[in-house]
Structure 1
Amino acid sequence: MQLNTLIARQIVERATKIIQFPVNVMDENGQIIGSSDPSRLHRTHEGALLAIHDNRTVEINQTVASTLIGVKEGINLPILYQDQVIGVVGISGLPDDVRSYGELVKMTAELIVEQEALMAQIQWNKRHREELLLQLIQGSTLNENQLISIAQRLDLNLSQPRIAAAVKVIPKHGQPLTLEHLQKLVHLLEYPERDNIVGIVSVSMNEVVVLKPVTLIDGCWNHKEEKARVKRLLKRVAQEADFTIKIAIGQYFPGLAGLARSYETAKATLANSGHSKEAILFYHEHKLSVLVEGLKQDQWRRDQLTEPLDKLRQQDTKGVLIKTLRVFFEQDCDLAQACAALHIHRNTLRYRLDKIEEATDLKINNLDHKVQLYLALKCA
């Protein structure tokens, strides 16, 4: 740990709120890097050099001050961090007047140093956790032993089975998304501690990823238990944050390599959620829609799948038949439920299905043809 001008300035500001005497902070080389008297900055303080060399408090009276460079009357105390001298804090004034304040100012300086060191360690851990997360979800070039070694230094257990979840932040009241929103979400995901590995993958893409531990029983994890956890998270977000979230939870795949596949399923599920009002989405509940969405990226496959609807539209200018087909599938091909949802008679539904078959050359009761029609709607 090294003193810098920012820490030195904090020490001076805090100390001068406690005492009315001038305060200086010197680095490990005895140079003044913080002072209540700006004219003394960047000068070497020989009294501080003595305090550093001998690791002791150095009092300087008028006589001694006249023999040293850059020195005034006062007291100089070494600043320790982990039993090492990293600098000096000095109070200017008659030694008899400032002596009683010395230990108080020294303690203040060392507390500030420890706080800064702790914050630096937290930031280091956070940065390296995010780097590890990226390695895991993007398919690392490092081998498994290297990843495990990195995780151990961060006090993370990679032997624990995990699933990936992708989270989108939705600011309230039309506010713009900010980094602070994402950082707040990361904090909510990390505390209370659940051994989550969390990172902001992209601010511009509004993407926070969490690798969540799960308990496997016969190779399967409990979806209900995970949904209950996510509901508790949503409740905390509602209470503590000025945004809402949408979270997509991927499939479980074994091994470290499986984390990248889990992330892909979570990311695809979130991307496929569109205007859905669901706040919690599980890949296994939207699997077909997610997989079909991938087909849309390939134009010729999409054209082939939607061809039956193109034929149907030519004869269905008012969209009645397409709406009927959509409701029919939404009701799991149950004729009675479809009639109730459409508020039509069973014979009317049968007539419309016949017209759909005629326009598309596909038979509703043929499983292969039925799948083609269903995928056509999904890809439309």
Structure 2
Amino acid sequence: MQITTELGQEIIERLSEYIEVDINIMDLNGKIVASTDSSRISQIHSGALKVIQNQQSVILTEKDVINFPGTKQGVNLPILHQNKIKGVVGVSGNPAAIKQITSIIRASVEITLEQINIQRQAYFKERQWSHWVHQLLHPMGFEIEQLEEDAIYSLTINPKQSWRLLVFTGDDIHDCLDPIRQELLGAKINNLLTLPYLGNEIIVAIDPVFDRIDDFVNKIINHSKKQVHVGVGNVEFGIKGIRESYFQAKKSLAFASANSNITYIEDKKLERLIASIPDQEYNAVCKNYEILLHNLDKEYLNTIEVYLSMNFSIKETAGKLHIHRNTLQYRLDQLKEKIGLDPRSVYDAFILTIILRTKI
């Protein structure tokens, strides 16, 4: 990492909030690239040139500055990063009074330089991941060979593994990004990626051996002050599996009930089958029944739904509806007569289920 004007000024702005001394940062050409005294920027600091040449500190007194153009009395120290000199930091003032503070400032500059380097590397890495994921999840498809090559050589991951995708969505969901990452780290949950995606999603690929998904998700939900919905895909293998699990998680969100925070695609097998029925086939088989159902009183619709949810149990359905068994039997008879489908028949009940979960 080279010290540029942009980088030097970023360091100066961070340090000047806490230290009230004149600070200069010089690049490897001895040019002042950042300073608390803006009038000195772009000047050549001959003291810095000597520091770079000898890779040792240079202390200048009032007498010394005559022989060092573009300098003031003060202390100038080499800036080291990854065991290489990257520039010079100088502090103006009486050398005896500022020698110690200059060493502290140099240490602060080097720490700040390392922090900026880490942040930039993390940002670059996240950009790589984001680009890779957008290619993988593109609705028009993807090139498996190129993505596998990028996974191995750019992202340094093994594409021959299994993962489960979680999709977090909701208003201002990106506010949950840091809490999700912190929870994954704190709980030592092995995850492949945690990224914002599109406008209102955060996608997480977790190790399939992790089985405390509800606990993990509930912690994030409890942290958020707004409604959060999470779709959970199945465990799938390889790069294609990441894509499949993502779209499974998305589909589970489409099937989720309004009061459900977590929805697993593996719990939505029937909904998936029903959703796969072409509109033409649905209309040919179910449309007339749908119209008749729609014209019934709400108590009949409620009776069907409860009866099916109670697995055809007369006793449990009557208890749930708080009606007599004979009243329930009468309603079921009426349903058979009014719409031509008998809820007590498995065959007819399946058609009713399709209609209820599709349209009503």
**Structure 1 length normalisation: TM-score?**
0.81
- Among 278, 281, 288, the alignment partner of 2:263 is 281
1:307 corresponds to which residue? 288
TM alignment of 1:110-125, pairs within 5 A: 110-125=110-125
Q: Does 2:338 correspond to 1:359?
A: yes
Bigger shift: 130-139 or 102-111? Answer: 130-139
Provide the rounded CA distance (Å) in 2 between the counterparts of 1:365 and 1:234: 39
1:208 corresponds to which residue? 202
**Structure 1 residue 199: Cα displacement:** 1.2
Matched residue type, 2:152 = S
1:160–1:214 contact (8 Å) kept in structure 2: no
Percent identity among equivalent residues?
Answer: 25
1:60–1:72 contact (8 Å) kept in structure 2: yes
Secondary structure of the 1:373 match is: helix
2:248 corresponds to which residue? 265
Matched residue type, 1:234 = N
Q: Does 2:359 correspond to 1:377?
A: no
1:222 corresponds to which residue? none
**Structure 1 residue 34: Cα displacement:** 2.1
Instruction: Give CA deviations for 1:151-173 in whole Å, capped at 9, x if unaligned.
Output: 753xx44433211111224xxxx
Pair 344,102 (structure 1): closer, same or farther in 2 beyond 3 Å: closer
1:163–1:251 contact (8 Å) kept in structure 2: yes
Secondary structure of the 1:362 match is: coil
Secondary structure of the 2:204 match is: strand
Instruction: Give CA deviations for 1:57-83 in whole Å, capped at 9, x if unaligned.
Output: 223344543344422222221211112
2:89 corresponds to which residue? 89
1:7–1:112 contact (8 Å) kept in structure 2: no
1:292 corresponds to which residue? 274
2:152–2:158 contact (8 Å) kept in structure 1: no
Provide the rounded CA distance (Å) in 2 between the counterparts of 1:167 and 1:282: 12
TM alignment of 1:323-334, pairs within 5 A: 323-334=302-313
1:188 corresponds to which residue? 183
**Structure 2 length normalisation: TM-score?**
0.85
Bigger shift: 11-20 or 335-344? Answer: 11-20
Provide the rounded CA distance (Å) in 1 between the counterparts of 2:299 and 2:28: 82
Pair 123,319 (structure 1): closer, same or farther in 2 beyond 3 Å: same
Pair 245,18 (structure 1): closer, same or farther in 2 beyond 3 Å: closer
Provide the rounded CA distance (Å) in 1 between the counterparts of 2:19 and 2:247: 59
Secondary structure of the 1:250 match is: strand
1:3–1:86 contact (8 Å) kept in structure 2: yes
Q: Does 2:150 correspond to 1:167?
A: no
Pair 177,308 (structure 1): closer, same or farther in 2 beyond 3 Å: same
Provide the rounded CA distance (Å) in 2 between the counterparts of 1:246 and 1:15: 42
Secondary structure of the 1:167 match is: strand
Matched residue type, 1:180 = D
1:186–1:208 contact (8 Å) kept in structure 2: no
Pair 150,180 (structure 1): closer, same or farther in 2 beyond 3 Å: farther
Structure 1 unaligned runs (5+)? 170-175, 216-224
Structure 2 unaligned runs (5+)? none
Provide the rounded CA distance (Å) in 1 between the counterparts of 2:5 and 2:307: 71
**Structure 1 residue 232: Cα displacement:** 4.1
TM alignment of 1:1-380, pairs within 5 A: 1-5=1-5, 7-9=7-9, 11-12=11-12, 21-138=21-138, 140-143=142-145, 145-150=148-153, 153=156, 156-169=157-170, 177=172, 179-196=174-191, 197-202=193-198, 204=199, 206-215=200-209, 226=211, 228-235=212-219, 238=222, 240-243=223-226, 245-275=228-258, 277-293=259-275, 295=277, 299-304=279-284, 305-314=286-295, 316=296, 318-380=297-359
2:179–2:220 contact (8 Å) kept in structure 1: no
1:151–1:158 contact (8 Å) kept in structure 2: no
Pair 16,214 (structure 1): closer, same or farther in 2 beyond 3 Å: closer
Pair 199,12 (structure 1): closer, same or farther in 2 beyond 3 Å: closer
| RMSD of aligned alpha carbons | 3.0
Provide the rounded CA distance (Å) in 2 between the counterparts of 1:199 and 1:19: 37
1:306–1:377 contact (8 Å) kept in structure 2: no
Pair 120,313 (structure 1): closer, same or farther in 2 beyond 3 Å: closer
Secondary structure of the 1:311 match is: helix
Count residues in correspondence. Answer: 354
**Structure 1 residue 5: Cα displacement:** 4.4
Matched residue type, 1:201 = Y
Secondary structure of the 2:238 match is: coil
Secondary structure of the 1:66 match is: helix
Bigger shift: 108-117 or 301-310? Answer: 301-310
